[in-house]
Amino acid sequence: MFVTLKSCLAILFLFLAPLLAFARDEAFEKARVLFEKTDYPASARILEAANDKSGNGLNLLGRDYFMMGDYKKATELFEKAAHLEPNVSAHWHWLGRTFGRRAELSTFVTAPNYASKARQNLERAVQTDAKNAEALNDLFEYYLQAPGFLGGGLDKAQGLVERIGANDPVEKHWAMARLAEEKKDFNTAEAQFRRSMDLAPRQIGRIVDLAMFLSKRGRTQESDAIFEQAQRIDPNSPTYLWNRANALIEAKRNLPEAKKLLEKYLMAKLQPDDDHREEARKLLAKIHGV
């Protein structure tokens, strides 16, 4: 039987394809583990060497660049992932987050365009998957804080409260607290933050939410007492360390303690959601300069 070069290559590819797929999956898993350990440069190097063009690969590489502060590169990668897999909510969510960060860092000329793109992509993420809790929360915060001409509005935020609650009843109380806070209904806000904490008394984030709220209201003794509850549960929690330090710095009190907390935070085992190291270093430099 006459066998052409083309058919030989096709047969070879059939044998090699599973091996190539296995190698790509193995590389992705190594990169994912490094990302979770906040070693974003090493994670990116593995993905780029593997030339992973899958939606998951593009998304993870985009998150690497996002965490490294290269938001333009992250945008390109998330756009490619979303084009490749338009039904995957996470791609639109991260694209929205990235445009949001670019809006925060850009000039008044370009910020409105980036902000609008952030909203559009966050809305697309929620439309694609109503159970994407992180996308819902980010869109909720956008509606709370953005002016009407950029698609924000308290009425729009109110419209998401029940949807947030459908995913997590405790989170609903946090959303109600944030909405009341923006309306300057501080009594309701406090009651909802307390309800959230009561329903999840071991979750550091719920405790810290109330402590930060009280600190911003100038109720420092009460705030300190709530922070102490979080400390008793987990004194090494990055969420506790970071927020406690920020509360002290914002109130301009006990800066030596804030310094210790930030130093301890930088030594803690962080995950991407906890990773504010660059900001922590800047705050430490600011404290040293006082």
pLDDT in tens for each of the 290 residues of the chain? 444 655 554 554 554 445 445 456 788 999 999 999 999 999 999 999 999 899 999 999 999 999 999 999 999 999 999 999 999 999 999 999 999 999 999 998 999 999 999 999 999 999 999 999 999 999 999 999 999 999 999 999 999 999 999 999 999 999 999 999 999 999 999 999 999 999 999 999 999 999 999 999 999 999 999 999 999 999 999 999 999 999 999 999 999 999 999 999 999 989 999 899 999 999 998 887 65
Question: Of the candidates 71, 68, 97, 94, which has an alpha carbon nearest to the alpha carbon of residue 82?
Answer: 94
Structural domain includes residue 81 = no
What pLDDT does residue 19 have? 44
Structural domain includes residue 263 = yes
- Longest CA–CA span in the chain (Å) reads 89
Q: Where are the alpha helices (DSSP H) in 68-153?
A: 71-84, 89-105, 111-128, 133-145
- Taking the C-alpha atoms of residue 261 and residue 166, their distance in angstroms, rounded to an integer, is 36
Structural domain includes residue 285 = yes
**What residue type is 123 in one-letter code?**
E
Structural domain includes residue 37 = no
Q: Residue 159 half-sphere exposure, CB side, CA atoms within 13 Å?
A: 10
What pLDDT does residue 17 have? 45
Number of domains comprising the chain:
1
Structural domain includes residue 218 = yes
Structural domain includes residue 182 = no
- Would you say 74 and 42 are in contact if contact means Cβ atoms under 8 Å apart? no
- Would you say 98 and 70 are in contact if contact means Cβ atoms under 8 Å apart? no
- Would you say 10 and 27 are in contact if contact means Cβ atoms under 8 Å apart? no
Phi-psi region for residue 54, left (φ > 0), alpha (ψ -120 to 50) or beta?
beta
Structural domain includes residue 74 = no
Give the range of the structural domain holding residue 287, as residue numbers without chain letter. Answer: 201-290
3 state DSSP class of 226: helix
Structural domain includes residue 284 = yes
Whole-Å CA distances, 265 to 43, 54, 202, 276, 279: 23, 35, 20, 9, 11
Distance of CA 118 to the CA centre of its chain: 14
Degrees (nearest 5) of the Cα angle 222, 254, 286?
125
Q: Which two tokens stand for residue 115?
A: 């902000």
Question: Of the candidates 141, 79, 144, 104, which has an alpha carbon nearest to the alpha carbon of residue 112?
Answer: 104
- Would you say 121 and 90 are in contact if contact means Cβ atoms under 8 Å apart? no
Q: What is the pTM of this model?
A: 0.87
CATH number at residue 264: 1.25.40.10
